[in-house]
Structure 1
Amino acid sequence: MALVTRIRRAVLTLPAAEPGPDNPLPPLRPLDEVHRLDGPEPSGMSPDMARRLGLAPLRDLLPVRVRDGYDRMRAPRRLDALVIENDRLRATVLPGLGGRVVSLLHLPTGRELLYRNPVFQPANFALNGAWFSGGIEWNIGATGHTTLSCAPLHAAPVPAPDGGPMLRLWEWERLRDLPFQVDLWLPDGSDFLYVGVRIRNPHDRPVPTYWWSNTAVPEEVRILVPADEAWHFGHERRLRRVPVPSYEGVDRSRPLAGSHAADYFYQIPDGRRRWIAALGADGHGLVQTSTDALRGRKLFVWGSGPGGRRWQRWLTEPGTGGYCEIQAGLARTQLEHVPLDAEGEVSWLEAYGPLDAPAEGEWGEAVRGAARRLETALPRARVEAAYAAWRAHADAEPGELLATGSGWGALEVLHGSGKLPGTPFPESTLGEAQEPWRELLRTGALPAPRRAQPPGETLVAPHWRDLLESAPADPHTEYHLGVAQWHAGDRAQAVRSWERALPGAAARWPLLRCLAVADQEDGHHDRAADRYAAAFDDLCDHLRRELPGAGVPDADGEAWTAARAALGRESLRALLAVRRTADARAVWERLPPAVRRRGRFRLLEAELLLAEGRAAEARAVFDTDFEIADLREGEDVLGRVWATLTDEPLPAHYDFRMRPGPA
């Protein structure tokens, strides 16, 4: 008896690390994003690609916060899931973690079509930190993994074109201020999951847009795609055109053939059907195809070298298989952004399902064979028809909420972004983080916090900055105004706002920290160190004054511990940079013991000991085999510090190198 398509709730229980609190310090600097070009643009690219490579790079991550409070202590944890299934496929979605499709099970054969991570382990890969591997992820915002990787989305059923149910996911992406939706649809009897995506620009100005759908698949496969050339991008940050599938004597269609992590952005000729498949030696695997608006196709591989193998083990359970990613995006490469017209939108339909085709043999023959099998299983015309049918339902109002995202979209709608059919952002979703900003919108004044706590999030879009500029100029408002001005590029005015706020501020440390960052950006490193030391002193004094018992480790709560850790980390780095080891030691000694035990702080301890001339003790820190939970993709600090201690090879458990050559 056929199973009629349905949506149901489920719970996944996985070994999972706790996400922890967000970093309360506003991210005034952009993260060291690995996906950027160093050096001149390569020759051979089209004019539109050249324009898009330099389009509106991020100044910083504002208004989003960095998510770095997670650890690597995993324990069984229940994760709310939503399942959409028919008698052929079962898709399992985690609405609380970016809407990730963590499983796509082909029911007749029992085959899992995706790489399904057996654990939830955040790692520092998203633009704002926490990200996890596996499944299908929806990346919107700017080059890199979305800031919504570990954030909740709204979810609800809507009517599908065939009369059955469709699962809608939606949110307000805050880096570019764009609402978007992802509709998952399984027609009865279909072997393919349809995914309709729409991004809307409610503003009166063009906005740079970015989208890549990233699908993790087991790496013991061959990747087939209708292309004979690709742009290769590695962690040396150069873009070059290479033949497909082989160059430098290596067949790059096999993810384990190369030694280092790399991206291959395939150049599919205009007019050809857009698809990419990952097939095992037995010819079974996954194919992804779409309407032509989703132009790009990409392969990401970790490579067979020790660094890539270390990252694979880092992101999952040791002993489990590795993965690669096949991806699809709006542009030819992930280094580009596409302009979205004022009050415009862009949409497309994707399809994911099983494909059986010979993977071995000569490249052209294998690609043509897979294309024929795809056309038989899912004709291109059927995808186009499904897209047209879905567009007629894209504005359908969702039913009962199955999951709730953030209140930021509701706040933007309140400000006047207008009604967005199909993606409601009701006032009922407003929470504590949005409440001061709703009050600013309603009264023209930003209320001060009702209790002692680190500063809340700052809104930085032009319309919010205008409201801050016209609000009464108390220290709390001046702090947030300075952050918004900094984001807008008016750094001199931001500094003036922070300096004006200092004399009357109940807590000076947030302002001093912002001024210290400004000093560093201007090259005034000694003055930055002074301000960091003063900021950390003020934070410790503030805790003693405002929170009785705060001297007891963690008695001040999660938010204050996060503040001490974040400010302490930045202060230590600033003080060590100007060789003020005694002041750095004073900061270290006032950190909570639990913070000092974290891997990131063990590394800082080793650097402090080195600066104090205590190399043997610094080496002893490394001998404890610490782990840095938030080690950044491409970060080589472990290798650099190790090289100052010894000429011995970098131990394997510290080797996360993602490019050729020494650390």
Structure 2
Amino acid sequence: MFHSFMATTVRRALLTLPAAPLGPENPLPALRAPAEVHVLDERARRGLPRDMARQIGYEPLRSLLPVRIRDGYRRDRRKRDFEAVVIENAHLRVTVLPGLGGRIHSLVHLPSGRELLYRNPVFQPANFALNGAWFSGGVEWNTGATGHTTLSCAPLHAALVPAPDGGEMVRLWEWERLRDLPFQVDLWLPQDSEFLYVGVRVRNPHERPAPVYWWSNTAVPDDPGSRVLAPADEAWHFGYERSLRRIPVPEWEDADRTYPPRSTHPADYFYEVPDGVRPWIAALDAEGRGLVQTSTGLLRGRKLFTWGSGDGGRRWQEWLTEPGTGGYAEIQAGLARTQLEHVRLEPGAEFDWLEAYGPLDADPAAVHGPDWAAARGAAAAALDAALPAERVEEAYAAWRRSADETPGERLATGSGWGALEVLCGGFKLPGTPFPESTLEEAQAPWLELWRTGVFPAPRRVAPPGDTLVAPHWRDMLETAPADPLTEYHLGVAQWHAGDVAQAVRSWERGLALAPSRWPLLRCLAVADALAGDAERAADRYTEAFDDLAQESRGAEPWLAAESALGREALAALLAAGRLTEARSVWDRLRPALREHGRFRLLAARLLAAEGHLGAARRVFEDGFEVPDLREGEETLEQIWSTLTDRPLPPAYDFRMRPKSP
């Protein structure tokens, strides 16, 4: 297939990369609050600007529900083909991956042959998304809540749409489930343009306001001598010690922080772009060449993230790709000044804006000179010459007229959740159709609940499917016949709503008659643990794992359940000091599961708790990798320090913050 119009072409392609398997989703509902590092308590919000403090306190994410955690990925990589869409004119070649969150994988400036993005040579998921699996590189579209989107490794709908200039543009769209909001991303490369335009729209079809989060995140090469420039003299610094403070740009604490390697530890720098100033951010190399991103005014925030020059930051970058690959920094653009904020979107309203990405070539003597005003002024002047602000506004107005265009040829299919919500809610969303043809097996029981008022019994014994938790689904579950599976789902929905007591009652009612007890026991165990009753949590985890081990059929969904419940049960039993039961769970694990990195770590903890410190140290010395090690997680260091006084081996050093004095 090949489409051509006025020197811009859109074609399907296959991108072949060494890729780790993504693996199955975790079938246990995510009852615990997300372990997000970007949080500020009320005391830390004092003294911030009032609008910023208000938006930081506005509807922070309580739960990942109804989204499932993706932690089944591994680190053994084999060549794999990914469906791609390539948009190309005489100046740029854009490679998009609709099956991986619509990520722009590559942006090549054709006249010079330069790759403008950091292009990861491998696909290696790691635990950075809100729900786990995420990968580095390119341009990603972060929506939902503070953090990397739950759609990082998920397919989006994609289709061709008539572009404003008469050519074709690529539309990506999906239903974002954390906030129950549809969004679209339109990629438009006009004839003879050196800039890719990206039109974004987030809609609220509900009768209640909704919190919105958006940050377009661009990975750029972190070459020696590269500098990040933005139109700001101040920034908000957020480090992994979880404090937000205003600092000067570019110099702070005796270092120029606009050069990413000059920060020792990973950190976020949110630039204070003055009102009325054209928003942009650029990453330029020693010759003054690189990438610039600009937008219409609604997308006001700009940010630099750097891994820094410390051992932990370097280790994380290796972890996300392969040895010998260059490092990267992130330049980002968002709806708010910082990523700790959510913005209120009124009922029936929408946010929309236009972004532009392209090459920038500025005077290197000015860009890297000692005068910051002259440096950013040189970049701003180069941007104004290459892409005047008026042209962006004109492109935005033209794109808005195309935003409701009905998609034509389909390029990729996303999930069926949007189709379920549109069908049940009767929403009209021109430009982003969610047809019934996209409904899948996961949506089938919920469709039946909506149509009949009864949540159906499964056709075969299997771990429970997804739970929907929005108020309208909770209402339907409350009036449905109270069989054990319905009580399970109802409890999860009540838990999400903050009604812990009702959730526990629903699970206990379901338990009395449940043929499959372990899903309910696990939910009750989490409730016990969070209520501080470690002993009862340990009892219920023991019983739950015993029940699952007897019921498991051994196929992939069951193995995912055994892995997830085994990890939780072992951690709870170790926390309660119940070593005999912990050893019993370990002994019942399938041998293949015991070799997984998270279980190797639990093995070291169990051996240490049993007094076998030498054997626990040997687990570390033999070497293991925890594929789902969380951003900011310090478990490896903590356990190692209980086993020996020796320094933490470099392979296990993922520390992202300064050591405590």
- The residue number in structure 1 matching 2:336 is 331
State the alpha-carbon separation in 2 of the partners of residues 139 and 39 from structure 1: 25
C-alpha contact (below 8 Å) 1:42/1:240 kept by paired residues? no
Matches within 5 A, 1:277-426: 277-357=282-362, 358=364, 359-361=367-369, 362-426=371-435
Instruction: Give, in angstroms, the shift of residue 542 of structure 1.
Output: 1.6
- Which stretches in structure 1 are left out of the alignment for 5+ residues? 548-555
**Shift in Å, 1:4:** 1.4
* Counterpart residue number, 1:176: 179
- The residue type equivalent to 1:323 in the other structure is Y
Q: Kindly indicate whether the alpha-carbon contact (under 8 Å) linking 1:8 and 1:84 is maintained by their aligned counterparts in 2.
A: yes
The corresponding residue for 1:595 is 593
Does the Cα contact within 8 Å between 1:14 and 1:78 map onto a contact in 2?
Answer: yes
Residues 455 and 480 of structure 2 are in contact (CA less than 8 Å); yes or no, is this contact kept in structure 1?
yes
Separation (CA, whole Å) in 1 of partners of 2:47 and 2:305? 22
3-state secondary structure, aligned to 2:411 = coil
Q: CA deviation at 1:44?
A: 4.9
Is the contact made by 1:158 and 1:167 (CA closer than 8 Å) also made in structure 2? yes
Match of 1:49 in 2: 52
Tell me the distance in 2 between the aligned counterparts of 1:148 and 1:24.
17
Alpha-carbon displacement from aligned partner over 1:525-572 (angstroms, at most 9, x marks no partner): 1000000000001111223xxx4xxxxxxxx21110000000000000
The answer to whether the 8 A contact 1:502-1:508 is kept is yes
Match of 1:203 among 196, 203, 206: 206
The equivalent residue for 1:621 is: 619
Q: Is the counterpart of residue 252 in structure 1 residue 257 in structure 2?
A: yes
User: How far apart, CA to CA, are the structure 2 residues paired with 1:410 and 1:147?
Assistant: 18
Q: Deviations over 1:137-192 (max 9, x none)?
A: 00000000000000000000101110000100000000000000000000000000
Letter in 1 for 2:523: C
2:563 corresponding residue in structure 1: 565
Match of 2:635 in 1: 637
- Cα distance in 2 between the residues matched to 1:353 and 1:30: 39
Which residue in the other structure is 2:479 paired with? 470
Q: 1:31 Cα shift?
A: 2.3
**Secondary structure of 1:278's match?**
strand
Contact 1:285 1:354 in 2 (8 A): yes
Measure the CA separation in 2 of the matches of 1:89 and 1:431: 37
- Relative to structure 1, is the Cα distance of residues 208 and 39 closer, same or farther in structure 2, using a 3 angstrom cutoff? closer
Asked if the contact 2:46/2:53 (under 8 Å) is kept, the reply is no
Q: How far does residue 42 in structure 1 lie from its aligned partner after superposition?
A: 4.9
* Counterpart position of 1:551: none
Residues 3 and 87 in structure 1, CA contact (< 8 A), matched pair in contact too: no
The one-letter amino acid paired with 2:354 is L
* Deviation at residue 39 of structure 1 after TM alignment: 6.5
How far, CA to CA, are the matches of 1:448 and 1:36 in structure 2? Answer: 40
- Residue 417 of structure 1 and its aligned partner are, at CA, apart by 4.1
- 8 Å contact kept, 1:2–1:87: no
Tell me the distance in 1 between the aligned counterparts of 2:228 and 2:631: 24
1:504 Cα deviation from its structure 2 partner: 1.1
Matched residue type, 1:206: P
Determine the C-alpha separation between the residues in 2 that align with 1:498 and 1:473: 11
5 Å-filtered alignment, 1:108-119, equals 108-119=111-122
- Residue 605 of structure 2: aligned partner: 607
What's the secondary structure of 1:447's corresponding residue?
A: coil
* Aligned AA (2:480): A
Equivalent position SS for 1:520: helix
The CA distance in 2 between the partners of 1:150 and 1:57, in whole Å, is 23
CA distance in 2, matches of 1:296, 1:505: 51
Match of 1:20 among 17, 20, 23: 23
Structure 2 CA distance, aligned partners of 1:223 and 1:2? 35
**Would you say 1:444 and 2:453 are equivalent positions?**
yes
CA RMSD after TM alignment: 1.1
CA contact (8 A) 2:45 2:53 kept: no
* 1:454 lines up with 2:463 in the alignment: yes
CA separation in 2, counterparts of 1:38 and 1:498? 32
TM superposition shift of 1:577: 0.5
Alignment deviations for residues 226-246 of structure 1 (CA, whole Å, 9 cap, x no partner): 100000000000000000011
The change in CA–CA distance for 1:42 and 1:203 in structure 2 (over 3 A counts) is: closer
1:278 Cα offset (Å)? 0.2
Provide the rounded CA distance (Å) in 2 between the counterparts of 1:433 and 1:279. 46
2:70 maps to which residue?
A: 67
User: In the alignment, what sits opposite 2:501?
Assistant: 492
Q: Is the partner of 2:83 in helix, strand or coil?
A: strand
> Secondary structure in 1 aligned to 2:44?
coil
- 1:553 is matched with which residue? none
- Give the TM-score, by structure 2 length: 0.98
Q: What is the SS of the residue equivalent to 1:24?
A: coil
Of the candidates 26, 32, 37, which is equivalent to residue 40 of structure 2? 37
In structure 2, what is the Cα distance between the partners aligned to 1:246 and 1:625?
41
Q: Residue type of the partner of 1:484?
A: A
The AA in structure 1 aligned to 2:155 is P
Give the deviation of 1:41 after TM superposition: 2.8
Match of 2:218 in 1: 215
| Contact 1:88–1:190 (Cα < 8 Å) also in 2 | yes
Partners of 1:468 and 1:2 in 2: CA distance: 51
- Give the C-alpha shift of residue 624 in structure 1: 1.1
Q: Is the 1:203–1:417 Cα contact (8 Å) retained in structure 2? A: no
Which blocks of at least 5 consecutive residues in structure 2 are unaligned? none
TM-score by length of 1: 0.97
SS of corresponding position for 1:392 = helix
Q: Hey, what's the Cα distance between the residues in 1 that align with 2:287 and 2:194?
A: 19
Whole-Å separation in 2 of the counterparts to 1:635 and 1:18: 23
- Per-residue deviation at 1:45? 2.8
Q: Give deviations 1:185-214, integer Å, cap 9, x for gaps.
A: 000000000000000000001000000000
Q: Deviations over 1:555-596 (max 9, x none)?
A: x21110000000000000110011010100000011111110
Whole-angstrom distance in 1 between the partners of 2:426 and 2:112: 47
Looking at structure 2, the residues matched to 300 and 63 of structure 1 have their Cα atoms a distance apart, in angstroms, of: 29
Distance across 2 between alignment mates of 1:157 and 1:38: 45
Please give the residue correspondences for 1:110-189 in structure 2 after superposition, counting only pairs within 5 Å: 110-189=113-192
In the alignment, the residues of structure 1 paired with residue 79 and residue 589 of structure 2 have an alpha-carbon distance, to the nearest angstrom, of 30
Confirm or deny that 1:190 pairs with 2:190. no
1:270-281 maps to which residues of 2 (within 5 A)? 270-281=275-286
Partner Cα distance (2:603, 2:45) in 1? 42
Would you say the 8 A contact 2:494–2:500 is kept in 1?
yes
Deviation at 1:662, TM superposition (A): 5.4
Residue type at the aligned position of 1:79: F
Given residue 605 of structure 2, which amino acid in structure 1 is its aligned partner? E
Q: What is the deviation of 1:400? A: 1.6
- Using a 3 Å threshold, how does the CA distance of structure 1 residues 532 and 116 change in structure 2: closer, same or farther? same
How many Å apart are 1:2 and its aligned residue? 10
Offset of residue 53 of structure 1: 0.7
Greater CA drift, 37-46 or 613-622: 37-46
- Look up the equivalent residue of 1:263 and give its one-letter code: D
CA separation of 1:2 and 1:409: change in aligned 2, threshold 3 A: closer
- Classify the secondary structure of the residue corresponding to 2:536: helix
2:6–2:167 Cα contact (<8 Å) kept: no
Paired letter, 1:617 = A
